[in-house]
Amino acid sequence: MTILSVAQDAAQKIGVPSPSALITSNDPDAKLIKTLIGTICKELGRRHDWQELTREATFTTVATESQGTLLDIASDLDRIIPNTAWDRTQNRPLGGPLTSKEWQQLKSSNTAGPYNDMRIVGKELKLIPVPTVGNTVAFEYITSNIGEDIGATELSSFATDTDVPLLDEYLIMLYVVWQYKRTKGIDYRDDFQIAEIEFANRTAATMPRRTLNLGRSPRLTSGINAPDGSWSV
């Protein structure tokens, strides 16, 4: 579904004329809906670690504390997903991110641990101790992009009516409805509640759910099975 389709569905639900064009329209309602679609996509992206927005970045370590800025590593990076930074060359995780206190404590120490710890400050990624040159480090992050064009090139903002949001179009439409009404001074409480319920549903459904086992470990899930008991030891 394109942003124009989202706008048309939202307009019908609100009860205003459905726009035939969005980006180039001078109609006040269409211009407001266009603005809302862009801002809502950014707002929703920052509220949850969506699988639709999850990307992977890699970089090669250099023999300095600073490994460069985050935007040098991934130009569309909004935030790193916690606990995903990994040194693939040495097959071990990066520690951190460190607090200011922890960083200064390690900087003042005369010893260096076996693992590299990470700190992000001033949009710069730093490692302590200084890493070995040439290691491959990877992490997952949430992109700041909000859509893609018909050629599947990701976009930080919408430029044509045929651009497609990265997030669920129905959810975006529901948020456009209540935020439009709020902007116009119309009662939006029911619409807000509907949108928030759908947000909860989408965040729960966007990834396959893991099994929460409160009993014994499931049997016959691998090629090796050992019977319960002490085995007479």
Q: Per-residue pLDDT tens for 86-138?
A: 999 999 999 989 999 999 999 998 777 778 999 999 999 999 999 999 999 99
Across the chain, what does the average pLDDT equal? 92
Q: How far apart are CA 110 and CA 108, in angstroms?
A: 7
Give residue-wise pLDDT tens across range 7-58. Answer: 999 999 999 999 999 999 999 999 999 999 999 999 999 999 999 999 999 9
Domain ranges of the chain: 3-49+167-205, 51-143
Share of the chain above pLDDT 90, in %: 84
**Confidence (pLDDT) at 19:** 97
Query: For residue 85, what pLDDT band results from cuts at 50, 70 and 90?
Result: very high
Would the pLDDT of 221 be above 70?
Answer: no
Q: What's the whole-number mean pLDDT along residues 192-218?
A: 85
The rounded percent of the chain whose pLDDT value lies above 70 is 92
User: Quick one: pLDDT band at residue 222, thresholds 50, 70, 90?
Assistant: low
pLDDT of 220 > 70? The answer is: no
Given the structure tokens 């691998």, which residue do they identify? 222
Residue by residue, DSSP assigns 21-70 as -STT---HHHHHHHHHHHHHHHHHHHHS--GGGEEEEEEE--SSSEEEEH
Q: Examine the pLDDT at 179 and tell me if it is beyond 70.
A: yes
Q: What is the mean pLDDT of residues 61-86?
A: 96
How far, in Å, CA of 6 to CA of 165, rounded? 9
C-alpha distance from residue 184 to each of 3, 14, 29, 71 (Å): 21, 11, 10, 38
Q: Is the pLDDT of residue 173 over 70?
A: yes
Dihedral, CA of residue 32, residue 172, residue 17 and residue 185, to nearest 10: -60
Residue ranges of alpha helices (H) inside the chain are 3-14, 28-47, 70-73, 100-108, 169-184, 189-205
Report pLDDT for 219: 58
Q: Which of 140, 138, 139, 158 is nearest to 148 (CA)?
A: 158
| Residue 215 banded pLDDT, cuts 50, 70, 90 | confident
Question: Per DSSP, what are the bridge partners of residue 136?
Answer: 60
Asked which of 74-78, 104-108, 160-164 is least confident by mean pLDDT, the reply is 104-108
pTM of the model: 0.87
Nearest CA among 168, 228, 178, 175 for reference residue 202: 168
Mean pLDDT of the 64-84 span = 96
Q: At 200, which amino acid appears?
A: A
pLDDT at 224 over 90: no
Say whether pLDDT at 187 is over 90.
yes
Write the burial class of residue 128 (CB in 10 Å: 0-12 exposed, 13-18 middle, 19+ buried): buried
